[in-house]
A and B are shown apart, each in its own frame.
Chain A
Amino acid sequence: QSALTQPASVSGSPGQSITISCTGTSSDVGGYNYVSWYQQHPGKAPKLMIYDVSKRPSGVSNRFSGSKSGNTASLTISGLQAEDEADYYCSSYTSSITLVFGGGTKLTVL
């Protein structure tokens, strides 16, 4: 159950777009369309932003989008805003009938 690989940090200026990658294997990310993305602000519980690779829960801004190619999933945030500064985690269902998270990416809005 190795964690999915995410960059430790990304940054962008307000209004710009950024992409966070999440790399796994054919036993998790590549094998199932069950990738989710979570946003976590300091001291708060995680918030579901994307599920099933590219679906947005009700109430989540359409500035957030998800995609997948092979064993790598991606979260793109367009029109970056100050409130987007947070930690982001991907997760995937696995062939071992478990769930694995990525190590997390700290997004800094410059």
Chain B
Amino acid sequence: EVQLVESGGGLVQPGGSLRLSCAASGFTFSTYSMSWVRQAPGKGLEWVSYIRPDSSTMYYADSVKGRFTISRDNAKNSLYLQMNSLRDEDTALYYCARPLYNGSHLGTFEIWGQGTVVTVSS
């Protein structure tokens, strides 16, 4: 079964850091680009970051650029999101997502995890 399982969320103070993980199974992880998408409570979806299959290129939303870092370990079938200088507005459910196509495609998310909740509050 193709599956993505996020972990690492929690409560953190403004200015703090958190590292999210996403464990992939059931497909050849190393051949797919991956992304993080978040959803603030009661709000819509917001794309956060993207990484190519070979980690050669990463892209970020302006709202997180310079604060978040996406990475992956293909040997461990895992995707990560290092979040620094967290703000109240980063509070959200964070999903990792895999595209329909393998390769370097951005978007067209066929597979989603269940999400992990990040709460930034003092």
Contact = CB atoms under 8 A, between A and B. Distances in A.
B34 to A, nearest CB: 13
A51 B61 CA distance: 21
A93 B107 contact: yes
Interface string B44-66: 11110010000000010111000
- Name the residue among A93, A99, A102 with the largest chain B CB count within 10 angstroms: A99
Given A45-B115, A99-B47, A103-B44, A52 B108 contact: yes
A1 B110 CA distance: 23
Contact of A101 (B45, B112, B114): B45
B44 A46 contact: no
* Contact residues of A: prevailing secondary structure: strand
A40 B112 CA distance: 11
Contact of B47 (A45, A57, A101): A101
A54 interface: no
Interface residues of B, number: 21
Contacts of A103: 44
Contacts of B46: 101
Interface in A60-108: 89, 91-93, 97-104
A51 B108 contact: yes
Contact of A36 (B35, B62, B108, B115): B108
B32 interface: no
Nearest to A36: B108
A36 B109 contact: yes
Interface string B84-122: 000000000001000010000011111011110000000
- Residue with the highest number of chain A CB atoms closer than 10 Å, among B35, B63, B108: B108
B62 to A, nearest CB: 5
Contacts of B50: 99
Interface of A: 1, 3, 34, 36, 38, 40, 45-48, 51-52, 57, 89, 91-93, 97-104
Interface of B: 35, 44-47, 50, 59, 61-63, 95, 100, 106-110, 112-115
